[in-house]
Structure 1
Amino acid sequence: METSGATESHGSRVWFITGASRGLGRAFTEAALSAGDRVVGAARDVSPLDDLVARHPGRLLALRLDVTDRAAVFDVVAKAVQHFGRLDVVVNNAGALFAGMVEEFTETQARAQLEVNFFGALWVSQAVLPQLRAQGSGHIVQISSIGGLGGFPSTGLYSASKFALEGMSEALAAEAAQFGVKVTIVQPGGYWTDLYTSSTATVPNPSYDSLRDELAKQWAEGSIDSEPQLAAEAMMKLVASDDPPLRLLLGSMVYDLAFDIAKQRMDTWAGWEEVSRAAEKAVPAPK
């Protein structure tokens, strides 16, 4: 399938990738370097990037970064621009998963989930925009999730963080378009990363034991993940497009689920149309 506006020759782009040392971030970094591009790889621990730094001298700058630290984000972005002179593709990939039923979350856990997945991406977006505006170009790619399509048992706060990311990113896309800056929300399905193995879990409430058992059975029977390299291949097609979409689904499962959820919502809205329309009647402003 042809990608709208895709070009084979793009020159050497400069990428800024958060969470670059593992999982999807590592795959994106490797793909960009293989394409001859330059990369700023940011992560809390950049030591896993040592081999790539050695293999691609001068083209990979590894910088330690905790995206929840706004001042540090602005500092690292400034260093990236100073080093390579520009930014072309910004990938907000850093993320974490806090698993548990909504009732079980402590305040600290709930805030921590939003700090990484939402506020981290917000700080990076804010930090890179002055440079992208000055250039009159750039592409911000927000890595969302299947959790951004809907809320699911045991990942409610994760979905909340992705819903927040997507709402902010839709507004950002409309605001930044006038400056030649593009924004895409990428919604991946399952990939073999350490997102689940490194997740933080709540203290289980026995009231949800039967639901947990049911979920565990569903995951055991139907969970099939893909290699991160496939997501990286899709990413390269995305950033090569002159007309990238606001949203991009990655994987057949998430693609089908997106349509199922959209249809369910439309059916529900239609079923309650009379009530919805009756709740609005324009009147003069109160005196």
Structure 2
Amino acid sequence: MSKIIFITGASRGFGKLWAKALLERGDKVAATARNIDDLADLIAGYGEAVLPIQLDVNDREAGFAAVEKANKHFGRIDVLINNAGFGLFGAIEETTEQQARDQMETNFFGLLWLTQAVVPIMRAQKSGHIIQVSSFLGLVTLPVLGIYNASKYAVNGLSETLASEVKGFGIHVSLVEPNGFSTDWSGASAVQAEPIEAYAPVKKAFFEGATPDSWGNPEATTNAVLQLIDSENPPLHFLLGKIAYSGVKQVYGERLAEFEAWKEVAVEAHGH
């Protein structure tokens, strides 16, 4: 049976790829974008199977209205894919207040508003799957992406909590945590902070550390995401890419070792 998917940020990158793959196999998609003209190819290719919705996810009221529109149009929403977001590049000291607020507004609050809008619908249905497009940088960190890292850590904390709250309603929650992929996330969609010369060596090391192999092929994610959507018991954490897997495994091993090294001090601090 075909599913009804609501996906944000469907104008490019992962959002466009996944929307096309879902439509191609017969699902119906409510696709949102800031500029609805960017959805013209989906409309031309898939007709009534796609419901285009103009949406700035930062607008909470508009987000609720968009979810309600999709629910009325299709009669239900089986899957929400919170995909809208962007990258902010710059050392933490370099980042302006407005840049930091904009990053959190879109990557965290925009996702929160859509999640809040869809939960009552899925709760009434007694079924649903909320897929939050986070990052492996919601589990580990890299320099020069401090505020972006923070936004994804926030998404992970929110979504892990949500999963425990809505499990009894038949709602699944999954965090998709990709490493870097060759989308325009680090290109046209990215925001760059004004550089401070003192951080030039840190940035040089960061960018020189990336090789062509560091970046995944976006098209290769489609099958994985379709499997996630079709799973009867989807995972809470879903890594995408070999860099994500190896990086998270290494960092978590180091964290566990550090916890053990300070275990006696930590336990003593309990006081009794």
Partner in structure 1 of residue 205 of structure 2: 214
Tell me the CA shift for residue 154 of structure 1.
0.3
Question: Which of these residues, 38, 41, 44, is aligned with residue 54 of structure 1?
Answer: 44
Question: Which of these residues, 150, 153, 158, is aligned with residue 148 of structure 2?
Answer: 158
How is 1:93-172 mapped onto 2 (pairs within 5 angstroms)?
Answer: 93-172=83-162
SS of the residue corresponding to residue 74 of structure 1 reads helix
Alpha-carbon distance in 2 for matches of 1:251, 1:175: 29
Alpha-carbon distance in 2 for matches of 1:157, 1:185: 19
How is 1:167-178 mapped onto 2 (pairs within 5 angstroms)?
Answer: 167-178=157-168
Alpha-carbon distance in 1 for matches of 2:181, 2:141: 19
Structure with greater contact order relative to length (CA < 8 Å, sep ≥ 6): 1
Count of aligned positions: 271
Gaps of 5+ in 2: none
Question: Which of these residues, 39, 57, 70, is aligned with residue 60 of structure 2?
Answer: 70
CA-based RMSD of the aligned residues comes to 1.1
Seq. identity, %: 42
Question: Which of these residues, 278, 283, 287, is aligned with residue 268 of structure 2?
Answer: 278
SS of the residue corresponding to residue 66 of structure 1 reads coil
How is 1:248-287 mapped onto 2 (pairs within 5 angstroms)?
Answer: 248-282=238-272
Indicate the structure (1 or 2) with the bigger Cα radius of gyration.
1
Gaps of 5+ in 1: 1-10, 283-287
Tell me the CA shift for residue 141 of structure 1.
0.3
Alpha-carbon distance in 1 for matches of 2:179, 2:196: 28
Counterpart residue identity of residue 185, structure 1: L
Partner in structure 1 of residue 81 of structure 2: 91
Counterpart residue identity of residue 207, structure 1: A
Counterpart residue identity of residue 204, structure 2: D
Tell me the CA shift for residue 222 of structure 1.
5.5
- Is the 2:214–2:243 contact (alpha carbons within 8 Å) kept by the matching residues of 1? no
Counterpart residue identity of residue 242, structure 2: S
Alpha-carbon distance in 2 for matches of 1:82, 1:245: 29
Tell me the CA shift for residue 223 of structure 1.
4.9
- Is the 2:33–2:39 contact (alpha carbons within 8 Å) kept by the matching residues of 1? no
Alpha-carbon distance in 2 for matches of 1:253, 1:125: 28
Alpha-carbon distance in 1 for matches of 2:94, 2:105: 18
Indicate the structure with greater helix content: 2
Tell me the CA shift for residue 104 of structure 1.
1.0
TM-score normalised to the size of structure 1? 0.92
Counterpart residue identity of residue 258, structure 1: V
How is 1:171-190 mapped onto 2 (pairs within 5 angstroms)?
Answer: 171-190=161-180
Alpha-carbon distance in 2 for matches of 1:25, 1:214: 31
Partner in structure 1 of residue 193 of structure 2: 202
How is 1:17-32 mapped onto 2 (pairs within 5 angstroms)?
Answer: 17-32=7-22
Tell me the CA shift for residue 227 of structure 1.
2.5
Alpha-carbon distance in 2 for matches of 1:31, 1:14: 13
